[in-house]
Chains A and B, each alone.
Chain A
Amino acid sequence: MKTKHSILAGLAGLVAGLVITGASPEANAQEIQISGPLAGAKAVRRIRLHRDGRFDVAPMATFTLLDEFRRNVLFGARLNYHFTDWFGAGLWAGGGISYNTGLADELQLKAVDGRNCAENPNTLACKRTAVSLCRGPNCLGEKQLGSIVWMIAPQATFVPFRGKFSVFGKAFMDADISLFVGPAIMGINERTECAKGTCAPSPTNPDPFSTTGRVTASATFGLGFNFYPTNYISFGAEFRGTPTAWNTSGFDVAGESGPTADDAIDSNDRSVHINPMISVFASMQLPTDIKVSD
Chain B
Amino acid sequence: MRKNQAGVGLSIALALLLAPVDSFAQGKKGSAAPAAEAAEEPAAEATTEGGEGSAEGGEAGSLDDLCKIDPENCVKVDMDAASKRDIDSDMYAVQQIWALRTNRFEVNPYVGVTMNDQFVAHPGPGVALNYYLFHWLAAGVNANVYAGLNSQSDFNFETSRAARIGQPITEYQWNVNANATFVPAYGKFAAFSNFIFHYDFYFVLGAGAISTRPIAVVDPDNRTFAYSVKPTFGGGMGMRIFFTRYLAAMLEVRDYVFWEDLENPAISSGFNAAGVPLAQDPSTWLAPESSFTNNVQAQLGLSVFLPFSWSYKQAK
Contact = CB atoms under 8 A, between A and B. Distances in A.
A83 interface: no
Given A68-B118, A261-B161, A19 B302 contact: yes
B10 interface: no
A4 B149 contact: yes
Given A111-B164, A249-B162, A165 B244 contact: no
A4 B153 CA distance: 13
A125 B24 CA distance: 95
Give the most central of B92, B109, B151, B187: most A CB within 10 Å.
Answer: B187
B138 to A, nearest CB: 15
B273 interface: no
Contacts of B301: 15
Contacts of B163: 107, 111, 129, 132-133, 251
A111 B165 contact: yes
A169 B93 contact: yes
A166 interface: yes
Interface string B222-261: 0000000000000000000011100101000000000000
A248 to B, nearest CB: 10
A251 B162 contact: yes
Nearest to B109: A15
A253 B160 CA distance: 10
B162 A133 contact: yes
Counting from the closest, the 8 A-B pairs by CB-CB distance are A165-B187, A163-B189, A251-B162, A132-B162, A23-B243, A161-B189, A29-B197, A253-B158
A97 interface: no
A43 B190 contact: yes
B162 A29 contact: no
A175 interface: yes
A68 B193 CA distance: 42
Nearest to A32: B196
B255 to A, nearest CB: 14
20 contacts: A7-B149, A12-B300, A15-B109, A15-B302, A43-B193, A66-B115, A86-B192, A107-B165, A129-B162, A129-B164, A132-B162, A161-B190, A161-B191, A162-B193, A163-B199, A164-B187, A175-B189, A249-B159, A251-B158, A293-B193
Main secondary structure on A side of the interface with B = mixed
Interface of A: 1, 4-5, 7-8, 11-12, 15, 18-19, 22-23, 25-30, 42-44, 47, 66, 68, 86, 103, 107, 110-111, 125, 128-129, 132-133, 160-170, 172, 175-177, 249, 251-253, 259, 261, 293
B190 A44 contact: yes
Contacts of A42: 193
A218 B163 CA distance: 30
A29 B242 contact: yes
Nearest to B302: A18
B68 interface: no
A261 B249 CA distance: 45
Contacts of B159: 249, 251
A169 B164 contact: no
A252 B193 contact: no
Give the most central of A7, A23, A103: most B CB within 10 Å.
Answer: A23
A68 B155 contact: yes
A236 to B, nearest CB: 13
A8 B149 contact: yes
Contacts of A172: 93
Contacts of A252: 162
Contact of A169 (B92, B116, B194, B197): B92
Given A11-B111, A168-B184, A261-B161, 11 more contacts: A4-B123, A23-B244, A23-B247, A27-B195, A29-B198, A29-B242, A66-B118, A163-B187, A165-B201, A166-B186, A175-B187
B241 to A, nearest CB: 9
Contacts of A128: 164
B186 A169 contact: yes
A166 to B, nearest CB: 5
A30 B98 contact: yes
Contacts of A168: 136, 184
Nearest to A18: B302
Nearest to B123: A8
Interface string B132-158: 000010000000000011010011001
A22 B304 CA distance: 10
B94 interface: yes
A179 to B, nearest CB: 12
B194 to A, nearest CB: 5
B184 A167 contact: yes
